[in-house]
Structure 1
Amino acid sequence: MEVKGMSSPPIDSNKIVVADAKLQLIGDGFAFTEGPAADKDGNVYFTDQPNNRIWKYDLNGKLSVFMENAGRANGLYFDEDGALIACADEQNQLWRIKDGAVEKLVIHYQDTLLNGPNDVWVASNGLIYFTDPYYQRDYWERKAPDLKVQALYLYKKNQQVIRLDEEFKRPNGIVGTADGRYLYVADIGDDKTYRYTIKKNGMLTKKRLFIPQGSDGMTIDTEGNLYLTGNGVSVYDKQARKIAHIDIPAKWTANVCFGGKDRNVLFITASDKVFTLKMRTKGVH
């Protein structure tokens, strides 16, 4: 696995990126990288789904394998207790990983196998929101989904799984605001991203089209700017105005998060590579 620095192509806007900052290639040679998430200290964890591993990129710039046999984990997010919530789509489950132990939070929806949890966001009150699109995997025996819809779900600590919205072609990226007011969900199958208002009980209301652009993974900064992925990283402000685009030298940019001690390093998973970029903006702790 090669680890080195490299220059980035021109960046459209310096509003959010440190002046003269360059993309740093911190690792390549993976099969397909996904699901970056930062712990409370700013260490970043990400998945190499085809190789069934979760990796860790620590504050000293060291890459190490955090977990083998990781349930074919895709999207990741840390909860308030420091546990890693993982979309483990090998058996279409949602996992909670803490101190090396795996707790299977969700194994089905109303006794039916899920499509394959893909991306996840955990609110500060512990409520877990996740998307469940269907992507046929070569490690599955089944050749068709058990569920008729591809939907957005809410998991509550009493093991209750609630289907919140099934009006998608293929939901994917998901992230919420730090204040818990809004939830963004991308429909990558319809090239749209929606915004919901989160009610006090965790349910959603006031769904509206936010941007006519889909996304694989997503993140958000403390200013409320939304970062979408796919063809590089596109950044939109709270008024849905595009303020920046970051070109990434890879076939596909799958996901993104903020990491580092001060949460001002953008961590980018892109095909067989992972990059970092120093930002003016900061991610949510």
Structure 2
Amino acid sequence: MLDKDFVVLDERFRRYAMGNVHIEKLWTGSRWAEGPAYFAAGKYLIWSDIPNDRLLRYDETDGSVSVFLAPCNNHNGHTVDLEGRLISCEHRGRAVTRIEHDGSRRILADRFEGKKLNSPNDVVVKSDGSIWFTDPTYGIDGEYEGDFAISEIGACNVYRIDPVNGSVSAVITDMVRPNGLAFSPDEKLLYVADTGLTHKVGCSPDIRVYPVASDGRSVGAGRRFATCDAGLFDGFRVDIHGNVWSSAGDGVHCFAPDGTLIGKISIPEVVANVCFGGRKRNRLYICGTTSLYSVYLNTQGALRPKV
């Protein structure tokens, strides 16, 4: 029997929600939990507590939670690159940075065409080593998650950092507030959430999907993939079957590759982001507003295709 927190909206969801599996509340005490990233070699997860200006670390081996980095320039989203290094979106730093193998911080991007970035929000690394990130204004809108400032760019875009020369190019410029993003398992599609409803009345709370060009450096015209029926989408991940597991106001929403909402996982807090982890990549970590949750699923997080 499925736990009551698994909400089946389409029979396809039953394949992924296993019986006798329950939502686990692992830790609480943050102000705004975000940006989870899993390190398989160390068996731990890191995530942001943005207003408290710290990164937290959950150790799978003993369930302990500790401070990974503080202060941290109000980190938001994270990912792990091809060499196992942490890539971070800094609100207060207004930059995408990387923690090197020796522990030093390196700025990968902090400007576009000579102007300061707004406040990088979420980030993903493609199999060719390129780094794609979103740049809304949430970190400069006030003093709570960063430092107040006026946008120099005057727009909120999705950018790509070239893995060879480090150049920054705008790949999506038609969104109000681009937020979470992820590639399909074959990297032929790029999904991006737009949370522009926070700033523009009537902006549809969508995840949009863009075809990736054959050269892997740009995208074509986007289309609506899904619309949120509970709050806003934020961060999300894609599994090996191409399903999109997204944050929402009432928990986690699961969308089939055709865009159908097939199920939900109810969480008693607004969810900001999720991440697959665990030894088999079948444990979904969930960042609620104040807490870290997890649940085991009958699927696995997608791996980057080999190049």
TM-score normalised to structure 2 length: 0.86
- Name the SS of the counterpart of 1:51 in structure 2: coil
Residue 82 (structure 1) aligned with residue 84 (structure 2): yes
Q: Give how far 1:161 is off.
A: 0.5
Q: Distance in 1 between matches of 2:268 and 2:130?
A: 36
Deviations 1:134-175 (A, max 9, x none): 111306554432221111111112120001111111111101
State how 1:99-248 maps to structure 2 within 5 Å.
99=101, 100-135=103-138, 136-138=141-143, 141-157=147-163, 158-189=165-196, 190=203, 191-199=205-213, 200-213=215-228, 214-231=232-249, 232-248=251-267
How many positions carry a matched residue from both structures?
Answer: 277
| Contact persistence 1:40–1:82 (CA under 8 A) | no
The one-letter code of the counterpart of 1:122 is V
**Alpha-carbon offset, residue 55 of structure 1:** 1.7
Q: Which runs of 5+ in 2 are unaligned?
A: 9-13, 197-202
SS at match of 1:45: strand
Aligned to 1:91: 93
Counterpart Cα distance in 1 of 2:184 and 2:216 = 16
Aligned counterpart, 2:11: none
| TM-score normalised by structure 1 residue count | 0.92
The verdict on how the C-alpha distance between 1:141 and 1:36 changes in structure 2, with shifts beyond 3 A counting, is closer
Partner letter of residue 108 of structure 1?
Answer: R
Q: CA RMSD in A?
A: 1.6
Q: Which residue of 1 aligns with 2:200?
A: none
1:249-268, aligned counterparts within 5 Å? 249-250=268-269, 252-268=270-286
Percent identity between matched residues is 30
| Shift of residue 37, structure 1, vs aligned partner | 1.3
Whole-Å separation in 2 of the counterparts to 1:261 and 1:43: 10
Give the secondary-structure state (helix, strand or coil) at the position aligned to 1:203: coil
C-alpha distance in 2 between matches for 1:179 and 1:44: 25
Instruction: Single out whichever of 64-73 and 18-27 deviates more from structure 2.
Output: 64-73
- Kindly indicate whether the alpha-carbon contact (under 8 Å) linking 2:5 and 2:267 is maintained by their aligned counterparts in 1: no
Please say if residues 79 and 124 of structure 1, whose CA atoms lie closer than 8 Å, have aligned partners that are also in contact: no
CA distance in 2, matches of 1:77, 1:9: 31
Residue 59 (structure 1) aligns with: 60
User: How far apart in 2 are the matches of 1:219 and 1:240?
Assistant: 14
Q: How far off is 1:9 after superposition?
A: 4.8
Matches of 1:44 and 1:143, distance apart in 2: 31
CA distance in 1, matches of 2:210, 2:160: 13
What's 1:3 paired with? none
Instruction: Give the distance between the partners of 1:103 and 1:141, measured in 2 at CA.
Output: 21
Relative to structure 2, which stretch is displaced further, 104-113 or 14-23? 14-23
Any unmatched runs of 5+ in structure 1? 1-7
